[in-house]
Amino acid sequence: MSQAMMSLVKQHLECDDQLNRVEAALHKEDLASAGRNFRLFDEQLEHHFHLEEDRLFPAFEKATGMTNGPTMVMRGEHAEIRALRDQAASEIENKNIQSALSTLDTLNVLIQQHNVKEENILYPMCGGSIPHLSSVLGMGGCGGGACSCSS
């Protein structure tokens, strides 16, 4: 797996860790910490989703001509994840700890299922079909254009 793909996988793990911090704070009934950690989770998740939606998916669609395939499914799952994220945000905001914990459980399952598909199916397909992947993702690497690297 390329460096660029490994960075995306690392972002998955960082989001997981951040979500765990929110759950730990809720278990301690520390709503201030839960809210703070949830905002950080939200920022990390959106940063990652935008990297995929604005850079990775369009590059995959352009390289393969597939617009109704895996990227369409992944965009749909992002929408489901965001809906649950919004629900959890308002439950935390309303100090509804039990509901928030149960929503976060479901959110966690959805995210894990989504990440497994990306890591096992979509990312390897992207690695094989998108030239200059690092620069497509804004992660440095080659300069694109006439460069012949395989990153």
Residues at the site binding Fe ion, with contacts judged by CB under 5 A: 52, 118
- DSSP state letter for 146: T
Q: What residue type is 150 in one-letter code?
A: S
Residue 94 — φ and ψ, nearest 5°?
-90, 10
Residue 4 Cβ vs Fe ion, minimum distance, rounded to whole Å: 13
Cα 130 from chain centre: 19
Residue 56 Cβ vs Fe ion, minimum distance, rounded to whole Å: 8
Give the separation between CA 99 and CA 96, rounded to whole angstroms: 6
Taking the least distance from each CB to Fe ion, the nearer of 31 and 110 is 110
Residue 47 Cβ vs Fe ion, minimum distance, rounded to whole Å: 11
Three-state DSSP string of 77-107: HHHHHHHHHHHHHHHHHCCCHHHHHHHHHHH
Question: Taking the CB of residue 41, how many other CB atoms lie within 10 A of it?
Answer: 24
Residue 10 Cβ vs Fe ion, minimum distance, rounded to whole Å: 11
Q: Does residue 133 contact residue 63 with C-beta atoms inside 8 Å? A: no
Residue 8 Cβ vs Fe ion, minimum distance, rounded to whole Å: 6
